[in-house]
Every structure is written in structure tokens, then in C-alpha cells.
Structure 1
Amino acid sequence: MNWIRRVAVLLTLLGFVSVGRSTLAADPLSLSLRYRTETDQDSGLFHTLHRDADWNPKETAIILCDMWDVHSSQNAVRREKQIAPRLQQVVEALRREGVTVIHAPSGCMNFYTDHAARKRAIDAPKASNLPEEINAWCYKIPEEEAGVYPIDQSDGGRDDDPVEYEAWAKELTAKGLKPLSPWSRQIDVLKIDAGRDFISDSGSEIWNVMEAAGIKNVILAGVHTNMCVLGRPFGLRQMVQNGKNAVLIRDLTDTMYNPASEPKVSHFTGTDLIVEHIEKFVCPTITSDQIIGGKEFRYAEDDRPHVVMLVAEREYATDKSLLAYAVNPLGKSYRVSFVYADAEDKNDLHGSEVIESADLLFVSVRRRTLKTEQLERVRAHIAAGKPVVGIRTASHAFHVRNVDPAEGYAEWTTFDPDVFGGNYTGHHGNKLLPQVTFAAITHPILEDVDRMPYVSGGSLYKVSPLASGTTVLMNGKYEGLPSEPLAWTFTRADGGRSFYTSLGHSSDFEQPAFRVMLENAIGWALDRPAASKATAKP
């Protein structure tokens, strides 16, 4: 009777047999694919962009990667238990649409020996185009050679407290499980439809299933992004290099990353860095709300505010300074996104939609007249009373002197006084480098800052007099010139907090005092403690 079972499998794969679904053509899955593309050749900077895609459900599969019942890391188990219910909702919704569901708990096939979904995967007809290396791990694809892998996972990535881990290992051993590989099945929150789903951890079996069903599009979810989701024989790299349209559900995944390892960011920032790497060099990503509605999933412990950095200036290389600063120190406590100007049109900030989700807007822009809808996003953020931090050229960010904006573009000539309480009227000579001194006051932004004077690498801005409601924290002085404020806070008319400093030269970022002050300023603007309490050194 084995031939009958094979015919039934083939009919299921071809869509003629289904559970609770018509064989009529389904509506497409309308997805917004997020990806990253370099701002300019060899710039090392990336726009974060979206493109729409309509996928035929009948030509789409979702693979649930290694969503095991238990794990060697107790923290990994805790996070998996958070995403599993949401992932189950996604699976149910996709299954109803006719998407093929493949359960892939690696190393657990013995548990499913007699399961119909396991037998269905085994019985799928062998594909004529089986890739040569489809049963092998894939550790890198050629596109990744252009980047640097963002995290150190050489310690295995376990982020458990050592004492807690020892107790967890003893608990697993007492249950007769191997502490380093205790899994035996998929987590039971994820339901397997015996009538139509598939169970396999084999690259060739999963490829056979997909080819028999005419699968062109593959959705990956599960754990762990930096290891199994990327590298398994059915993982993202293999899918992409063998011609499938692949995406990762970026809010339903997790990494094995230990914050004690480089780049020493929070666990959740570590996941973000891997997702960024995937979007740059492997494939796009989506979020679960695109399938089931509501909001993106977020781990309960992930309380990082979202800092969006607008970077569009060519004088002080803040694109590079801030890119590094976003990882160290901000990566410990903040989620940071970047918006850069187009290489051909300096007034077009690609990906500015992300401003709408910002908790804090960080501005390093010089004399740009933005597209009208882009500047409106900036205005809306500020009108909502949300915090703003600006450095250096932010005082003249959205205004070009003696030039009217082109059609479809807009300026904000009073951005400096409106948002920062400033009064920028130019700067002294580029060779007149000011000595930086700190105000003799107590303020959260100056906490843990070594107040030893130093010389900035940037010219002294003319900003006096400041508006009422400002509090000066730093001053700059050059012999023979009047002293000028270098950094201050401002409570805006809308009630929001702003911080501005005319510092921001690349040499300033080499000064520990400046780095700590800027970090404190972000925390103050968000009414939140600074990301780290490192003491600045002279």
C-alpha cells in the first residue's frame, strides 16, 4: 500500500488534497520585504529600504527551525517560550492560506518516526534538481565576503548566569537528558497538522517536498538566527544560493549571543546586528504582524528605546563616528537605526519612515532641504513632544542659505531656535580650535564625566545668545574671542526635551569625556539612566 501513500503525498503537495480549504486560487500574501543596500560603492554605510512582494501561497513554504522542547541554555528556553505562541498564530494563518508548513526540529526525527507528517516528508518524490551540497551546513555565501560578521559567537553564545546554568545542567541531567543537547522533539506549543504538514531535518527531504509542490518562496522562523537559521541544510543560506526567494521573520527569532563577547552589546542588539547582516548580504526580512496583524513581537525583557539617527553631512565624518558609537556604547541599552542621504540627491533621506517609530531623534545633518514628506516626519516627531539630540551641524540642518527648496522639498529655517533654543550665526576660523570647559553645575548629563579641559578639533560656533529655558553645560574659548556655549539642554514649547552640542568633530569622539556626556544626554532626553556608567579618563 506504500504506492497509495505516495500518491496521497503527491496530491497534497500539488494542492488537490487539503484540510478545510478550497482548491481555488488564493489571494496573494502581500509582504513588505526589508533589505539594505549600500549608500554608495564601498561606503560601508547602508540604506534600510522596503519593497513590496505578492507571493502565491501555493508556491510558499514556512520552515520552523529548531523550535525544540528544551535547550542547553535556560535563557534560550525562556525566549523561545515567548515567541512560540505568536509563531503558532502565524503558522495557523499561513496554513489557512494554503502555505506549506515544514517542521524542522533538528536531531529529533526518532520521536516522529510514526507521525504522518514525518512519513509524508520521507515519501516526497525525489527532485530531479537536487543541489549537490543540500545536506551540508552552509557557513557563508559569497555575498557575505563583502561584510564583517558582526558578533563573536565562538563561546557558543550562551548568556546564562554561570550559577544558574550549573543548576540548569544538573536539572537536565537528573531528567536523563544530555545538558549540551537535551532536546528530543519540537515545543508542543507549535501544532503539527498530521493531514498536511511535513516533518524533516534533512536538506534533501525538504528540497524534495518543496520541488514537488512547486515552492518558490520560503519563510524561515525559529532559532537560532546566527547558527541554525542561517546555516542548516534547510537554512537561509542554502535556500538563497539554490534559487529560492527567502525571508526571515525577524521578530520571531533569537540568537545565541553572550553580551560578554564582542561587540559587548545587549543580547537583543546582538540579534539586531545579525538581522542587519542578513538584510545586507543574505536575504530580506519581514515581521509577524504582516501576516496576523497587530504589532511586531517584542521580548518582554527588551526595553531598549529606539534611537533614530539622521546623518547627512560631509564635513565631519559623523556617519563613521556615529556608526561605531551606536554599537559602543549605545548598543548596550538602545536600539539604533540610521537614515542616510541618497548619494545622488543629498536632500533625499532614504528610509525615513523609521522616524515614525523613534523614541529619540538624533540629528547630524548639514544644510539639507528634505522631501516634504520626510521633513514632515521630523516635524511630527517633535510636535509629539519626543526628545531630540543634535550635534555640530544640526543647528543648521534643514536650511540652505539663499536657495529656495526645489518643488516637492521643504526647509525649516527656524529649526535651531525652535528645537534647540540656539542662535547659530556662523563659526570662527577653522584653525581656531577652542578649549572645552565644563560648567560648574550638577546635572545628570555631567555625571561621571571627567571635567578636565581639552581642545576640540572643530572650530568654535557662534551661538550666543541662547533662548530662555536653556541650561549651558559646556563652554568653548579661544584666546581673543568671546566665550561661546558648546552644549546645553532646552525644554521646548511642546514640552519635549532637547540637547545640543556644537561639538562633533571626529576628534571629539576620541575624547572619553565627550562620549560619556553624549551618552548621558541621550539618557537624560529619554528620562532614562545612561547606557553605561563608565568613568571618562583624561
Structure 2
Amino acid sequence: MVFVAGDHEYSGESTLPILAAELEKNYGIRTKVIKAYPNQNSEENIPGLEALREADLAVFFLRWRRLPEEQLVYIDEYLKSGKPVMGFRTSSHAFNYPKGHALEAWNAFGERAFGTPPGWGGAARHTHYGHESTTDVRIVPEAAKHPILTGVNPEFHVSSWLYTVLPDFPKKGAEWLLMGKSVNPNSKNAVDQPVAWTWTNPAGARVFFTTIGHPEDFQVESFQRLVVNAIHWELGKPVPKTWKGKMDINVPYRGIVN
């Protein structure tokens, strides 16, 4: 597995290495984590993306990058391979090239890879219900027997403010696994939204995406279980029969800092 991190805000470059170490230790999955360099605010450099050529599964936690074309080549190559792909939260708006830029089409990476809205805002009105809100999550009844939901509580709570994706996303053909209800939303018209789904993208790849990903969410055992199950499912492996126990992923939310 190759994890690709660079998200400004949610500490993916800190949570994902802990998750990767747990996968190596307890589940026998070889991992590699590559990050924006020299820090999470470095929007134009993620060295090491050539590791994707050896990946059986690529996991993205990105936000508003402007990578050079010579780095994007590796992501494009991976997406075209039809190998499975996973994304967290801001990966729906992973890239943010200016209007008219030769690479502007990459701003719709989330739609291509995961079936999310094609970037933040825009015609799809991809937004959230305010930084003072949190989210109650529940299993979609029709999906309750999906292997990814093995051992996941029917209801749990996360710190992520709820992202809006409806009515046009996730893309047609996606299977909704979890729904979210905003708690203390900044709108009286808040609508419940899917927060995790599977999909087959245009390259034929098996997809798992979740709009959850606040660092405190990684402390929630049901979310941990969801992610570990999804990784096994994406790799074509049976979900673990024995849960190895709650992981110690204690990364504080820092917001966007320089």
C-alpha cells in the first residue's frame, strides 16, 4: 500500500503513518507513506510518487495541491491502471490549479477517482455545515451486511463537520455505506449526507471513499475498523476475522497553520 498525504489542515501526514505502522504490525500489509515536502503546506511537491508504480492500493489524503506535471504522471498512471484507490475527506478537492492552467482538469480529480463532486464549491456546491458542527454517523440499513461494515457500530459520532455531496454525488452506481447527520449545523436546512461509499470508477477500479477524516475521528474505534476493513476489501482480502483492538492514534486537530 502507498499512502499519499498533503492536506494543510487535518494532519493526514501524522495520522496515516500511525495507521500504516498498525497495518504492518498487526495485519501483514506492507506500506509506504509519502508526504508533501518539506511540510503539509508545500502545495507543489510530493517527492516519491514513483512508489505508486509498485502499489497494490493507493490511499490519498490531499487538499488543494498544485503538483508539477512530472509528479502528476505517476498518479495519472496509477488511476489508469484500474488498481484500487481509497480517499479521505479533502481528497475530493485534492488539486487547485488556477483557471486557465494547463493542468486545471486535475481539479476534478475527486470525481474521476472517487465519484465525489469535482472540487470544492462550484456547480455541485460542495461545502460543509460549519466548523462548530460535528456529525452523527449511522449505517445505511441496505448496506449493513457489506464486509466493510463488519464490527462497525450501527451508530457513532465523529468530529468532522459534515460535507455536502448531494444531490448529484456520489456518482451513479456508488453503494452508500454510511450516512451522516450534522450536529449543530450552521444552516436550518441541513440535509443528511452519505459519508462513506464504494464505487467502480471509469478505469474499472474498486473504490472506497469517506468524507470523514478529522484527526480526532481516527481515535474512534468504529472509524478505525471501517478503514481497516475497507483496506482489506480493496485488496481483495477477507476482512480480519479478529480485530486487533483499538489503535492509539492520538493526533490533535491543529487547523491550518504555517
Deviation at 1:456, TM superposition (A): 1.2
* 1:328 corresponds to: 22
| Residues 1:509 and 1:353: Cα distance change in structure 2 (over 3 Å) | same
TM-score (structure 2 length as normaliser): 0.81
Q: Work out whether residues 438 and 474 of structure 1, in 8 Å CA contact, stay in contact via their aligned partners in 2.
A: yes
Match of 2:137 in 1: 436
- Specify which of 519, 522, 527 is matched with residue 228 of structure 2: 519
Q: Secondary structure at the match of 2:50?
A: helix
1:28-107 to structure 2, matched below 5 A, reads: none
Q: Quick one: distance in 1 between partners of 2:178 and 2:75?
A: 27
Instruction: Look up the match of 2:239.
Output: 530
> Deviation string for 1:259-297 (max 9, x for gaps)?
xxxxxxxxxxxxxxxxxxxxxxxxxxxxxxxxxxxxxxx
Match for residue 489 of structure 1?
Answer: 198
In structure 2, the partner of 1:475 is: 179
Q: What letter is aligned with 1:343?
A: P
Q: Provide Cα deviations, 1:204-239, integer angstroms capped at 9, x if missing partner.
A: xxxxxxxxxxxxxxxxxxxxxxxxxxxxxxxxxxxx
> In the TM superposition, what are the counterparts of 1:322-361 in structure 2 within 5 Å?
322-331=16-25, 332-343=27-38, 345-361=42-58
SS of equivalent residue, structure 1 residue 472? strand
- Which amino acid counterpart does residue 136 of structure 2 have in structure 1? Q
> Contact 2:23–2:29 (CA<8 Å) still a contact in 1?
no
Alignment-mate amino acid for residue 477 of structure 1? K
Can you give the 5+ residue segments of structure 2 that lack an aligned partner in the other structure? 121-125, 247-258
Give the partner amino acid of 2:108: T
1:258 aligns to what? none
Pair 1:459-2:161 in alignment = yes
| CA deviation string 1:312-365 (max 9, x = no partner) | 012111111111111114542211111111227421111111111111110000
Q: Does 1:370 align with 2:63?
A: no
The offset of 1:475, in angstroms, is 0.8
Residues 238-249 of structure 1 mapped to structure 2, 5 A cutoff: none
Superposition CA RMSD, Å:
2.1
Q: Structure 1 regions of 5+ residues with no counterpart?
A: 1-306
Post-superposition shift, 1:439? 1.3
**1:109: which partner in 2?**
none
Please, which of 395, 399, 403 is the counterpart of residue 96 of structure 2? Answer: 399
Instruction: Determine if contact 2:43/2:64 at 8 Å carries over to the other structure.
Output: no
Q: CA contact under 8 A between 2:140 and 2:176: conserved in structure 1? A: yes
Q: Alignment partner of 2:151: what SS? A: coil
CA contact (8 A) 2:61 2:89 kept: yes
Report the secondary structure of 2:61's partner residue.
strand
Cα distance change on mapping 1:366 and 1:470 into 2, 3 Å: same
CA contact (8 A) 1:347 1:369 kept: yes
SS in 1 for 2:196: strand
Say whether the 8 Å CA contact 2:134–2:161 is kept in structure 1: yes
Corresponding residue of 2:217: 508
* Equivalent-residue separation in structure 2 for 1:403 and 1:333 (angstroms): 44
State the distance in 2 between where 1:368 and 1:462 align: 21
Partners in 1 of 2:156 and 2:171 — Cα distance? 26
Considering Cα pairs closer than 8 Å and 6+ residues apart, tell me whether 1 or 2 has the greater RCO. 2
- 1:447 maps onto 2:150 in alignment: yes
CA distance in 2, matches of 1:340, 1:411: 23
1:421 maps onto 2:123 in alignment:
no
Q: What is the SS of the residue equivalent to 1:418?
A: helix
Kept in 2, the 8 Å contact 1:334–1:531? The answer is: no
Checking the alignment, whether the CA contact within 8 Å between 1:369 and 1:410 is kept in structure 2 is: no
Q: Point out the structure with max Rg over C-alpha.
A: 1
Once residues 471 and 309 of structure 1 are traced to their aligned partners in structure 2, the CA distance between those partners, rounded to angstroms, is: 24
Q: Which residue of 2 aligns with 1:114?
A: none
> Structure 2: how far apart are the matches of 1:473 and 1:483?
13
**Does structure 2 retain, via aligned residues, the 8 Å contact 1:386–1:497?**
yes
In structure 1, give the amino acid aligned to 2:8.
R
